[in-house]
Structure 1
């Protein structure tokens, strides 16, 4: 009897977290022609239609490309930065950490507006390049923080032993450090990829005619069409994110790094 309130609270919490997801799934499976809940019958036609909309295919490809490339670039910058901040006493290291974390602190709308006003317009940067640079900057803090967490769990004397045995610092990094933090690097990639793919505020300012990421294309689609296909697409994207995180947790212990 004493556990009854805890079960009630747990049930309400799960309903609050999972309820909207279930509503979207059912709304996307509606047999009617308008987005509504409860659905007007059940049908998978809107899930099938998602794959026939040209703009969805183009925006999905763009989002995938930008998410993968920006995350790889962020890791290319973030892994050495995390290593330097973790292994060396750099002057102003705390200031550097704060600056690296700035994209997490500053609202995305402000970041998007600043990039549009001071980079895209005056420098005539293409929309695709602007999106790539912006997403790289947004993902970089995750790369630094997750890799730093992984480095904190790696004993530094392993690297020193490799140096004493004849390795250069670079060889010790590539042969000892990287293999031992690969779980953290992969976790940072997955977190960065999901963050970039689902990014809305910054992409909203930097998207242009014919160049829109998936979330922005979904917003534009809803301005002219109110059928359940957007709900179906939302459910598929949410399911994709859940599967990625679930697999990462099973294979890498994702929760240890974030």
Structure 2
């Protein structure tokens, strides 16, 4: 009897641990009071509406979208050929290359941000927006390589060879045969990279400056001066956005096969 109750109890506690903070944030965002509090002081949607009226949130949201979309696309442009080479050819030092590509997710983001600031931005007066773009590209590149590699490993190589034997060039076979057959993996890599870049904090914390901030950094700065539930409302909206993107990706792409 105890054994049958133990597993459901552990599962319930795990769900509370994982979902509990999200429920608290959503409840706090619906508070009718003037300060961030849980349990909420009444129910109201005014803080959700206020999120869309704050100029800094709109500007930083646009910057985060630009970095997430642009950085992920550039990472895919670099990562797809790299994944193809690592998957299709036995390259000297291939495992070393895989390890080096994975370094941005192995090394703590604070170290990456500090290194870019110290050795790129400060000595060369490098533009902050470009520094953020390259940093976000480097951070999502490992996901692009790994996810696309997984998709390529599941694709039969003889399909490409058949296209070459029928007269197609190697590049033509890649674009006509390989790329269409791994499009789900490429889309999954884009979604994973987008979510990772959009929610990224440590690197952006070192590189942001007034007027050039990502949304998470702007939210941190906002909470230093204002303690109303609007940050909770924005957090809840972003959480619902991320959940919706991942749900749709799993529904239509089988996202869990690649991550």
TM range (shorter): over 0.9
Note if 1:26 corresponds to 2:27: yes
2:170 is matched with 169
How far 1:125 sits from its partner (Å)? 1.2
* Separation in 1, partners of 2:205, 2:154: 38
1:111 is matched with 112
How many residues are aligned here? 258
Deviations 1:157-189 (A, max 9, x none): 111111000000000100000011000000000
Deviations 1:136-177 (A, max 9, x none): 000000000000000010011111111000000000100000
2:134 is matched with 133
1:51 is matched with 52
Q: Which runs of 5+ in 2 are unaligned?
A: none
* Separation in 2, partners of 1:224, 1:46: 16
SS in structure 1 of the partner of residue 36 of structure 2 = coil
* Separation in 1, partners of 2:209, 2:15: 38
How far 1:105 sits from its partner (Å)? 0.5
Deviations 1:210-246 (A, max 9, x none): 1100000000000110000000000000110000000
How far 1:3 sits from its partner (Å)? 2.5
* Separation in 2, partners of 1:77, 1:186: 15
TM-score w.r.t. the length of structure 1 is 0.99
SS in structure 2 of the partner of residue 175 of structure 1 = helix
Could you say what the CA RMSD is over the residues aligned between the two structures, in angstroms? 0.6
2:73 is matched with 72
1:218 is matched with 219
* Separation in 2, partners of 1:67, 1:122: 26
1:189 is matched with 190
* Separation in 2, partners of 1:9, 1:94: 39
TM-score w.r.t. the length of structure 2 is 0.99
How far 1:5 sits from its partner (Å)? 1.3
Q: Which runs of 5+ in 1 are unaligned?
A: none
